[in-house]
Amino acid sequence: MSDDEREEKELDLTSPEVVTKYKSAAEIVNKALQLVVKECKPKTKIVDICEKGDAFIREQTGNMYKNAKRKIERGVAFPTCLSVNNTVCHFSPLASDTSELQEGDMVKIDMGCHIDGFIAVVAHTHVVQEGLVNDRKADVIAAANTAAEVALRLVRPGKKNKDVTDAIQKVAAAYDCKIVEGVLSHQLKQFVIDGNKVILSVSNPDTRVDDAEFEENEVYAVDIVASTGEGKPKLLDEKQTTIYKRAVDKNYHLKMKTSRFIFSEINQKFPILPFTARALEEKRARLGLVECVNHDLLQPYPVLHEKPGDYVAHIKFTVLLMPNGSDRITLHPLQKLQPTKTIDDPEIKGWLALGTKTKKKGGGKKKKGKKNEDDKADAEPMDASKTDAAAS
């Protein structure tokens, strides 16, 4: 087998090595999320928590593949973000920011890790409080979580992206919530966090995507954001944007020396995946990033907001479409929830009752106890849609 053939084969889930790298990245990001959730306490600076999340991922990935024959890139695939209450996404402030968490804040944690470009991303919603989460906070978390459970069952070979879009909107409506517009779930590939195959969160005339069918051995980041408001977020302040990604297909000769310095640093340190401006020299970065963005050399990830008083919940997971079924590799248990709504719709109940594993044809031997484990895993999500939802 030639090197080119080996390289091509390596990109696919048919390679056990690739699956291992995805799962190793997932294990690290799941642990990083666990750490960040524990840090979410009143009077804690948001930037400090973001830094701890990123530092954990860098440290853990740095300990892997040290003695590999070729250099294996690894580290943060998406910087840790903590978006609070009506802030929808991408809030990862600069070191100088003094924002703190408060008791009762609804925090959306978003982060990603990669090993050799094989990316595992996760987002989770946590309320800064002890005990049961109830009322509209519980409704919107349950809406996002139940929509994620339904999506997990519909992102499977043979199904289409439109099936998922329609289903998640129906789930959110059952909790009297809205799926937030403009959120895309992307196929993941090596070093590609925003692949061409996408799932639209909300169908509308302004946002169109190509129809696509899911196929075996693909990987997806399924991204669900629900709101108690209108689900039409706004950009309030461009200065809040701190996360960017190099637009690899764009080139331009920058005029300002500061911009050239920053762009050179970005190309060296973050040539492909998203990064935070915190990782750059702050004073230079503020000036240099503006010119880079104005000439489309960088793709910004803007901080978006719903209206004050609205609650927004975010659940994102990475799923491998394996030959034996869908394997969700990133997740974190929810707090105990007591929503005001229950799922009575038979179609939604039907989706939740679907298994995530493919039934094997023929009479192959089963590992002892395996069937019960699968049944348990498939039955568990039904609890998330009940009034006393407790994903603990």
Do 259 and 199 share a structural domain? no
Report the pLDDT value the prediction gives residue 232, as an integer from 0 to 100.
95
Q: At what angle do helices 46-62 and 16-39 cross, to 10 degrees?
A: 150
Q: Can you give the CATH number for the domain in which 114 is found?
A: 3.90.230.10
Do 151 and 97 share a structural domain? yes
Residue 1 covered by a domain = no
Report the pLDDT value the prediction gives residue 363, as an integer from 0 to 100.
42
Do 133 and 271 share a structural domain? no
The tally of domains found in the chain comes to 2
Residue 366 covered by a domain = no
Do 174 and 146 share a structural domain? yes
Contacts of 20 by beta carbon, 8 Å cutoff, 6+ apart: none
Q: Can you give the CATH number for the domain in which 279 is found?
A: 1.10.10.10
Q: Are strands 133-134 and 198-200 parallel, antiparallel or unpaired?
A: unpaired
Distance CA 223, CA 315 (A): 6
Residue 382 covered by a domain = no
pLDDT in tens, 82-112: 999 999 999 999 999 999 999 999 999 999 9
Report the pLDDT value the prediction gives residue 359, as an integer from 0 to 100.
61
Distance CA 256, CA 119 (A): 34
pLDDT in tens, 210-268: 899 999 999 999 999 999 999 999 999 998 999 999 998 899 999 999 999 999 999 99
Do 285 and 137 share a structural domain? no
pLDDT in tens, 154-175: 999 999 999 999 999 999 999 9
> Which of 301, 336, 370 corresponds to the end of one domain?
301
Do 206 and 77 share a structural domain? yes
Residues in the chain predicted with pLDDT less than 70, given as ranges, are 1-10, 359-392
User: Is 378 buried (19+), middle (13-18) or exposed (0-12) by CB count in 10 A?
Assistant: middle
Domain residue limits at 296: 242-301
Do 43 and 169 share a structural domain? yes
